[in-house]
Structure 1
Amino acid sequence: MPVISAPYAFNEGQLFVDLESICGHSLYLKCEGFNFAGSIKLKAANEMVETAEREGVLKPDSILVESSSGNLGVALSMIAASKGYRFLCVTDSRCNLSTRLLMEALGSEVHVVADQDSNGGFLGVRIDYVRKLCAADDRYVWLSQYTNAGNWRAHYRTTGPEIAGNFPDLDVLFVGAGTTGTLMGCARYFRQWHRPVRIVAVDAVGSVAFGGEPGRRMIPGLGMSMRPPLLDESLVDEVIRVEETDTIRTCHHLARRGFLFGGSTGTVVSGATSWLARQDNRDLTAVAIAPDLGERYLDTIYQTNWLQDLYGAHILDPEQVGVEPEQVAGASREVKPASRAPDRRRRT
């Protein structure tokens, strides 16, 4: 029986969902939302805060500040409340209302930027605001999830080994790309492993992380409006971009089977099923990482009026939501060919 005294001390790392009956392909989904922060971002937040404390960067009068589209902000809000720090989250208008309210309930301040940067995103404006705060008051401590090595180290130490321990014959791993902390940590871990593993990054259409054309992105989480400083493309075998319409339909497809996941998870599952549908070898052992759960998306992805206003009246037509996964993810686009061919031994 786990007994904890701090909310960040608990994180379920051994839960996987077999999606074959839902997706039509052998795919195991690693669920990272079962902690008090509700997402995989707790791992990075813990690593970055503990490192800052060890290095003496965080002091009792420090004010944590971070740019976040939502989930890292919640994780840092929870840790800050537990440790007695003040925390200011700088976010933008795409951040879900429930996420903003949750951060405020935990005692954090939330600043929402409205202006867009040159790539049509909000990230540059958010970062500029954080930099001005830090320049004006040295009490502010910016952990900078975009450049902080603790972001990827957290997954090198935890997420990668958790997957490896359960799937010793892993062939392919699908990881969503935002800051690329999860992607880089897992990629570095499996690059040193006993067998080759194909690393497939899943990005959102409209993200420029891997050099794509900038475009409108309304679902927070994956994708970037600038190249992620943590990204080392030599560690990635393939990149798949997923349309937001496919993210939404995949989320609803999973929900119809009782699994309520968030937008980032819908994107990863859409990209993974699309990729698997194109493979000749059906005996691959494939794992995808689910960064979040769906409760924080009830007023967006799972709200009919919001969806129809942004994506049209037919976004949730039954024939679209209920089709086979390779059709649901039909617009997912592979943009980088594989550079390594893994040993495809089936896990027993």
Structure 2
Amino acid sequence: MPVITTPQEFNEEDLFVDLRELYGYPLYLKCEGFNFAGSVKLKAAASMVAAAELSGQLRPGSTIVESSSGNLGMALGLIAANKGYRFVCVVDSRTNPSTRQVIESLGSEVHVITEPSPTSGFLGARLDYVRALCDGDPSYVWLNQHANPDNWRAHYRTTAPAIEKQFPALEYLFVGAGTTGTLMGCARYFKDQPGSGVTVVGIDSEGSVTFGSEPGPRSIPGLGAGVRPALFDESYLDDLVLVSEPDTIRTCHALARGGFLFGGSTGTVVRGALEWLDRHRPGEDVTAVAISPDLGDRYLDTVYRPEWVREVYGLDEPELGLPPDTVTSGVREP
């Protein structure tokens, strides 16, 4: 029985969902949403805060400031509340309302960016605001998840070894790209293991610039970026896949029809993994794992609300009710 004194101490590392029953593909989904922050971002947040405290950058009286699409904001809000720091989370208008409410309920401040930068989108506008805050007040400490190596180090130390422990014969790993902290930490770990034959595939949303594609509109927070993350190093990856947001929505709803309510990022990763396996290893009994960043409860106002889905994507209930074993096209490889 785990007994903890701080919320960041607990994270369920050993839960995997076998998706073969739902999809007929040999794919295991590592569930990272079972902690007090509800997402994989708790690991990165705890790692970055601990490193900033150790270096003396973060000390009593400091104010943490960070740009986030939501999940890291919740994780930092939780840690800031526990440690007594003030926290300002800079989000944009795509962030789920329930996510913003959680951050504020933890005692943190949320600043919403409503206009994207003409050249770097909402992310660029959020980062500009963070820089302005830091330039105007030296008590602000920007952890900068997009460039902070303690982001990927968290997953090098925890996420990747946990996968290796459960699947020592792992062949394929599918990881979504947001800040690319999870992706880079896992990819670096497996590339560093002597004799490792693990193929690491990065998965992102269409409209994101991380993999070198042209920027485009995106409505689901989580994966994707309007500015290429400084952490990203393509040389550690074996393949790259882009998934359209309508296919993300379809996958989320198909998983929900099977009783699994996952977040939008998970829908993207699962869709990309299934398409990649269908294209490159059809009918083969391989050992493959995909990482699920979060659960679906904070997407009830967007991904799982029929009116929002119809307004944004033109998808209706019959189309969303695709049987779980249906894999539709829609993945693009750069």
Aligned counterpart, 1:346: none
Q: Deviations over 1:92-143 (max 9, x none)?
A: 0000000000000000000000111234620111001000100100110000
1:285 paired residue among 284, 287, 308: 287
Aligned counterpart, 2:214: 213
Distance 2:178 2:316 in 1: 25
Partners of 1:119 and 1:214 within 8 A in 2? no
Matched, 1:184 2:191: no
Partners of 2:250 and 2:320 within 8 A in 1? no
Distance 2:207 2:122 in 1: 13
Mark the runs of 5 or more structure 1 residues left unpaired by the alignment.
336-348
Matched position secondary structure for 1:35:
coil
Matched, 1:156 2:156: yes
Matched position secondary structure for 2:37:
coil
Moved over 3 A (4+): none
Distance 1:27 1:300 in 2: 26
Output aligned runs, 1:1-348, within 5 Å. Answer: 1-119=1-119, 121-193=121-193, 194-278=195-279, 279-280=281-282, 282-312=284-314, 314-318=315-319, 321-322=322-323, 324-327=325-328, 330-335=329-334
- CA positional deviation for 1:195: 2.1
Partner amino acid, structure 1, of 2:297: E
Partner amino acid, structure 1, of 2:238: D
- CA positional deviation for 1:325: 3.6
- CA positional deviation for 1:75: 0.0
Partners of 1:74 and 1:102 within 8 A in 2? yes
Partners of 2:258 and 2:324 within 8 A in 1? no
- CA positional deviation for 1:334: 2.2
Distance 2:174 2:48 in 1: 24
Partners of 1:19 and 1:25 within 8 A in 2? yes
Identical-pair percentage: 60
Partners of 2:174 and 2:273 within 8 A in 1? yes
1:229/1:120 CA distance change after superposition, 3 Å: closer
Q: Deviations over 1:207-263 (max 9, x none)?
A: 010111111100000001011110111001111100000000000000001100000
1:142/1:186 CA distance change after superposition, 3 Å: same
Matched position secondary structure for 2:327:
helix
Distance 2:332 2:321 in 1: 18
Partner amino acid, structure 1, of 2:305: Q
Distance 2:165 2:222 in 1: 27
Partners of 1:172 and 1:287 within 8 A in 2? yes
Distance 1:119 1:321 in 2: 37
Matched position secondary structure for 1:175:
strand
**TM-score, normalisation: structure 2:** 0.97
Mark the runs of 5 or more structure 2 residues left unpaired by the alignment.
none
1:252/1:25 CA distance change after superposition, 3 Å: same
How many residue pairs match? The answer is 332
Q: Deviations over 1:42-97 (max 9, x none)?
A: 00000000000000111110000000000000000000000000000000000000
Partners of 2:6 and 2:82 within 8 A in 1? yes
Distance 2:15 2:165 in 1: 12
RMSD: 1.2
